[in-house]
Structure 1
Amino acid sequence: MGRRLGLLKRWALALRSEVIAVFFAARDPAAPLLPRLLALFIAAYALSPIDLIPDFIPVLGLLDELILLPLGLWLVLRWMPAAVMQRARARAAALLEKPRSWLAAAAIVLLWLLLLAALLAWLGLWPWR
């Protein structure tokens, strides 16, 4: 079971890296138009919280992540020129190597919560008076 979990983690990290690389490839001016548009759609869909098929629908809700997303990535990787993908993968690897600051992430979340509280107070919807 532990070996399978490790394999799934490596696959998820590789998929994440490829999605970021596809995003960078979509922004490369040397990429042809059709693969660029497909790459942009796939990257936006993969990074978006909105799904084509909602996840709460049993079995069908996971089909987009298990079938549609890998199929779209495969098409992009097949149609995109190798030089463009090589540059995009290098940019994705450089981005993923940067350190992450949990303190900065917490500060941003706190800022959004304060803005939400201010909006609720301004609208008169604040629950505690």
Structure 2
Amino acid sequence: MKKIKKWAENLLKQLELLYKIYTYPKTPWYAKISIGIVIAYALSPIDLIPDFIPILGYLDDLLILPLGIYLSLKLVPDYVIEECREIEVDLSKFKGKKIVSALLISAIWLLLIYLLIRRLFR
């Protein structure tokens, strides 16, 4: 259980680092796109694979998110990562905005699903 807790804490630290990198002005545009997708997926109340599906439901949390973090960090130059590790960011301002961000991300998912269905049945 301690390993799982440590893994989850490390995942949160990596997401915090991604946020710092995303807001950093020297970050390349292609890395910002990748990081934005990963952060949006992490905040999204809708999973790619629903959690009620046995075993597969948790694969996105255990594999897709860490893989997205890893690939996003590979796109960022090392000097940017090091500079961002030293930046202090107050993330407490986001605690009260969870509902708003969940609604926004849900709306984006619904829009994408609508556009996909519309395209398929045209």
Same fold (TM over 0.5): yes
From 41, 47, 60, the equivalent of 1:45 is 41
Task: Measure, in 2, the Cα distance between the counterparts of 1:47 and 1:13.
Answer: 16
Q: Which has the larger radius of gyration?
A: 1
Q: TM-score, normalised by structure 1?
A: 0.63
Q: Is the 8 A contact 1:31 1:80 kept in 2?
A: yes
Relative to structure 1, the CA distance from residue 28 to residue 54 in structure 2 (aligned partners, 3 Å threshold; closer, same or farther) is same
Q: What does residue 11 of structure 1 align with?
A: 7
Deviation at 1:12, TM superposition (A): 0.9
Q: What is the distance in 1 between the residues matched to 2:82 and 2:6? A: 20
1:21–1:91 contact (8 Å) kept in structure 2: no
CA distance in 1, matches of 2:80, 2:11: 18
Q: Normalising by the residue count of structure 2, what TM-score does the alignment of the two structures yield?
A: 0.66
Inter-CA distance 66–29: structure 2 relative to 1 (3 Å threshold):
same
Please say if 1:35 is aligned against 2:31: yes
Deviation at 1:27, TM superposition (A): 1.8
Change (3 A) 1:50 1:91: farther
**Alignment length, in residue pairs?**
94
CA contact (8 A) 1:19 1:73 kept: yes
Q: Equivalences for 1:44-63 in 2 at 5 Å?
A: 44-63=40-59
Which of these residues, 69, 76, 86, is aligned with residue 80 of structure 1?
76
Mapped to 1, the partners of 2:85 and 2:34 lie a distance apart of 17
Structure 2: any 5+ residue segments left out of the alignment?
A: 97-122
- Deviation, 1:18, is 0.3
Alignment partners' CA distance in 2, 1:66 and 1:78: 19
